[in-house]
Amino acid sequence: MSIEATARIVADRTGLPVLVSDGPLALRRTRPTGPGHKVTVVGAMSAPLGGDRLAIEAEVCEGARLTVDSAAATIALPGPTAEHARYDVTLTVGEDAVLHWLPEQLVAARGSLLHLRTRAELAPGARLVLREEQILGRHGEQPGTLMTRLTVRRAGRPLLDTELACGPGAPGGWDGPAVLAGHRAVGQLLVVDPAYADRPLAPRPLGPTAVLTPLAGTAVLVTAVASDARALRRLLDEGLAAAAPDLHR
């Protein structure tokens, strides 16, 4: 049987007035390493499976700070039907608020079919650090099919809209030299900070398989491919240190 579940987080200056777990998405208040609040997503059961509909909604109110991470990687698995699974993430960050969205890797296991959609709405003075990492297949395994889209709006205007489809059900060319070039780990790190308006960064490579690119406005995007999850995390950490050294942990 397929699962439908929506977990919700609301953070304000005083605490976490809304922290609602649902189905396989268990939310736990954890100890932050810096100012603000921290929530860890703990998988309560195997998910997403084919046909599941999962969602997380996180809102950071004006002046609040929130970090969201996860206790382990999320593994997309085939389900009892051929229907795709869906995982929707909706982020809202208010004025002078800060959100660090740092989940562990998403693994597309063999036979899985997952659509991942992340939407972020940012106030003009909001700050965001968002990391996405996708791993195609477990060790020694053929990949599942993964389709992802990230859409970010700042002050009501589009800032970033990017999508990627890979795996056996994706359009041809996904594993060619213009996309993954045989790599099995792909990720991106987005840093949005009004401070970039006064100190913009120049584009630069971060080794042979990663690049830092300033976006129009007040944001920097790091994109990378790698042979495995460990190498990918190292590249994205290097990107964070280059884009926002005061945030690198």
Q: How far apart are CA 223 and CA 189, in angstroms?
A: 7
Instruction: Detail the DSSP E strand segments found in 167-216.
Output: 185-192, 204-205, 210-215
Q: How far apart are CA 47 and CA 174, in angstroms?
A: 25
The mean per-residue pLDDT over the stretch 225-234 comes to 96
Banded pLDDT at 248 (limits 50, 70, 90):
very low
The mean per-residue pLDDT over the stretch 132-139 comes to 93
The percentage of residues in the chain with a pLDDT greater than 90, rounded to a whole number, is 76
Which one-letter amino acid corresponds to residue 57?
E
Q: What is the pLDDT of residue 87?
A: 96
Structural domain contains residue 176:
yes
Query: What's the number of domains the chain is made of?
Result: 1
Q: What are the φ/ψ torsions at residue 126 (nearest 5 degrees)?
A: -80, 155
Q: How far apart are CA 145 and CA 165, in angstroms?
A: 8
Q: What is the pLDDT of residue 216?
A: 85
User: How is residue 77 annotated by DSSP?
Assistant: B
Structural domain contains residue 61:
yes
Q: What are the φ/ψ torsions at residue 193 (nearest 5 degrees)?
A: -155, 125
Place of tokens 């190292």: 234
What is each CA distance from 55 to 20, 90, 139, 204, in whole angstroms? 12, 8, 27, 35
Banded pLDDT at 244 (limits 50, 70, 90):
confident
**Mean pLDDT, the chain, integer:** 92
Structural domain contains residue 207:
yes
pLDDT in tens, 24-81: 999 999 999 888 999 999 986 667 888 899 999 999 999 999 999 999 999 999 877 7
Q: Helices (DSSP H) in the chain: which residue ranges?
A: 229-243
User: How is residue 2 annotated by DSSP?
Assistant: -
Structural domain contains residue 249:
no
Structural domain contains residue 123:
yes
Q: Is residue 116 classed as helix, strand or coil in its secondary structure?
A: strand
What is each CA distance from 206 to 164, 231, 239, in whole angstroms? 21, 13, 7
pLDDT: is 178 or 247 the higher one? 178
The mean per-residue pLDDT over the stretch 112-138 comes to 96
Structural domain contains residue 166:
yes
Q: What is the pLDDT of residue 246?
A: 65
Q: What is the pLDDT of residue 173?
A: 81
Q: What is the pLDDT of residue 44?
A: 64
pLDDT in tens, 196-210: 988 889 999 998 999
**Domain residues for 61?**
4-243
pTM of the model: 0.94
Structural domain contains residue 248:
no
Q: How far apart are CA 152 and CA 119, in angstroms?
A: 6
pLDDT in tens, 69-113: 999 999 999 877 778 999 999 999 999 999 999 999 999 999 999
Query: Is a pLDDT exceeding 50 seen at residue 249?
Result: no
Structural domain contains residue 48:
yes
Q: What is the pLDDT of residue 127?
A: 97
What is each CA distance from 11 to 37, 87, 135, 239, in whole angstroms? 7, 22, 30, 27
Low-confidence winner among 145-149, 172-176, 211-215 (lowest mean pLDDT): 172-176
